[in-house]
Amino acid sequence: MSNADEHTGLGAYFLVYGALMVGLLATVAVSYVPLGSWNLVVALAIAFTKAILVVLIFMHVLNSPRLTWIAVSAGVIWLAIMLSLMMADYMTRSWLPTRAPADMALPSYRELVPLSDQAIQAHGHGAGEASQDKEAAHDSEE
């Protein structure tokens, strides 16, 4: 009965809940402070702090056997691998001297989603850009 008997005290739950509320207010407040790219860093730091509190206390991982810790860590580690390798690909594409920049670049949004007739009429621009994109694509293929 060890698991069922190792109750986290009621106080711990309300303490964590209070901390989550503080984190929520802090993340909203900080987002209005102009910190440049640090805004994202602070927001994610607060989010990870909240997530760790939820996982350890609300989800009882703190009192769980090591096998559960391994499973949780595996999730975090594989997610980190997936996201970091993916961004490593995209962020370093422009570092390489490439013979075919048009092929390496992401397709422009216009190539994926052409402007609708309605949009062209409504905003009165964009048609020229679309045709130029097509010409550019043809040029690079040749």
Partner 1 sequence: MSTTATLPSATAKRTPVVAHHFDDWDQQYDACVLGMWTFLVTEVMFFGGAIGVYMIYRWQYPMAFAHASNELDVWLGTFNTFILLTSSLTVALGVRYAHTGESRKVGWMLIGTIFLGAIFLGIKAYEYYTKFHHNIAPLLDLPFDWGGADPGPTKIFFGLYFGMTGIHALHMIIGVVLMAMFIPAAFRNEYRDGNSLGVEVIGLYWHFVDLVWIFLFPLLYLVDRAITAPPAL
Q: How far is the CB of 142 from partner 1 (least distance, A)?
A: 26
35 vs 32: CA distance, rounded Å = 9
Q: How far is the CB of 111 from partner 1 (least distance, A)?
A: 10
80 vs 61: CA distance, rounded Å = 20
Binding site for partner 1 (CB under 8 A): 1-4, 7-8, 10, 13-14, 16-17, 20-21, 24, 27-28, 31-35, 39, 43-44, 46-47, 50-51, 54-55, 57-60, 64-65, 67-68, 71-72, 74-76, 78-79, 82-83, 86-87, 90-91, 106, 108-110, 113, 116, 118-119, 122-123
The CA-based angle 74-47-25, given to 5 degrees, is 160
Can you give 19-37 as a three-state secondary structure string?
Answer: HHHHHHHHHHHHHCCCCCC
